[in-house]
């Protein structure tokens, strides 16, 4: 799952944005101070940082400057009420990848984060296709034969993972570590439950199964055309 770090000192806004991002399928970690935010940004893996400027302790400009000075290339979107041209220029010159002024529309923020992630992953395909199943990765949309299928966050992650490894065997340990984030690859029936749930939504009656079980190993999706 794509992980975002949100550094925002306003508790109400922080909670609101966290819910917005989580509803859109992101895993979000939040904090309200500059020092804590800088620590998290430098000690944990994230795919992007949403950064306020006016923070207690180390402010957003200093966090950004310190991250870039330390060679950390984490994509950064500045989200702030400071709307002067000088602030915009300073933020971008210090290494921010985007700058959005409050107040803002949630849809615009989500679109800018998607664009930020798209630019940061130039070699990762934004679209996945296997037989008649299609995934728009950035929009997190799945369709089969042109009909959109609604999946839960976990079902989507599972299908995207299988599609990225199509024609290869995906072990239960791979799924446990990469999707369920179990450090030791602990086996649980959560994988089976999710696969069964996904099959009910993605498989078509009267056609060959899309998701194949590899007994004693895991699962695979194979291109048949």
Here the CATH number for the domain that contains residue 164 is 1.10.10.10
What is the Cα–Cα distance from 77 to 135, expressed in whole angstroms? Answer: 26
**What is the structure's pLDDT at 143?**
95
What pLDDT is recorded for position 203?
A: 93
Q: Are residues 148 and 89 in the same domain?
A: no
Q: Are residues 27 and 44 in the same domain?
A: yes
Can you give the pLDDT at residue 124? 64
Same domain, residue pair 201 and 140? yes
Q: Look at residues 120, 150, 168 and tell me which one is the last residue of a structural domain.
A: 120
Burial of 67 (0-12, 13-18, 19+ CB in 10 A): buried
- 106 lies in the same domain as 141: no
Q: Which of 120, 148, 174 is the last residue of a domain?
A: 120
Supply the pLDDT for residue 12. 95
Domain containing 108 equals: 3-120
Q: How high is the pLDDT of residue 87?
A: 95
Degrees to nearest 5, angle at CA 46 with 7 and 218: 140
In this prediction, residue 107 carries a pLDDT of: 92
Task: Point out which residues pair with 51 in neighbouring strands.
Answer: 7, 78
Q: Are 91 and 179 found together in one domain?
A: no
pLDDT at res. 25: 81
Neighbours of 86 (CB within 10 A): 8
Give the pLDDT score at 3: 86
Regarding whether 170 and 86 lie in a shared domain, the answer is no
Mean pLDDT by 10 residues, the chain (225 residues): 90 95 89 94 87 94 91 90 94 94 93 86 74 87 93 90 87 81 68 94 91 90 81
pLDDT at 123: 58
pLDDT at 5: 95
Residue 52: the pLDDT is 96
CB contact at 8 A, 37 and 76: no
Q: Do 66 and 93 sit in the same domain of this protein?
A: yes
> Number of structural domains, the chain?
2
CA nearest 50: which of 1, 86, 104?
Answer: 104
For position 39, which CATH number holds? 3.40.50.2300
Q: Is 103 left (phi over 0), alpha (psi -120 to 50) or beta?
A: beta
Residues 99 and 133 in one domain: no
Q: What is the model's pLDDT at position 98? A: 94
Give the domain-ending residue among 120, 139, 162: 120
Q: What is the pTM of this model?
A: 0.61
Whether residues 185 and 86 fall in one domain: no
> What pLDDT is attached to residue 189?
85
* Claim to verify: residue 139 and residue 74 sit in the same structural domain: no
């Amino acid at each position: 799952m794509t992980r975002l770090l949100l550094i925002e000192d306003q508790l109400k806004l922080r909670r609101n944005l966290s819910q917005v991002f989580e509803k859109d399928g992101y895993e979000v970690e939040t904090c309200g101070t500059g020092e804590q935010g800088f620590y998290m940004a430098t000690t944990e893996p994230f795919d992007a940082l949403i950064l306020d400027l006016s923070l207690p302790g180390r402010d957003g400009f200093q966090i950004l400057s310190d991250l870039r000075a330390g060679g950390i290339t984490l994509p950064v979107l500045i989200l702030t009420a400071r709307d002067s041209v000088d602030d915009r220029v300073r933020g971008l010159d210090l290494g921010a990848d985007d700058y959005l002024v409050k107040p803002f529309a949630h849809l615009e923020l989500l679109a800018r984060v998607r664009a930020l992630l798209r630019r940061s992953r130039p070699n990762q395909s934004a679209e996945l296709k296997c037989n008649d199943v299609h995934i728009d990765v950035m929009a997190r949309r799945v369709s089969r034969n042109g009909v959109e299928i609604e999946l839960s966050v976990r079902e989507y992650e599972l299908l995207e993972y299988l599609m990225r490894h199509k024609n290869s065997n995906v072990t239960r340990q791979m799924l446990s570590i990469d999707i369920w984030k179990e450090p030791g690859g602990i086996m649980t029936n959560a994988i089976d439950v999710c696969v069964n749930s996904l099959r009910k939504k993605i498989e078509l009656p009267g056609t060959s199964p899309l998701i194949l079980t590899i007994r004693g190993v895991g699962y695979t999706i194979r291109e048949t055309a």
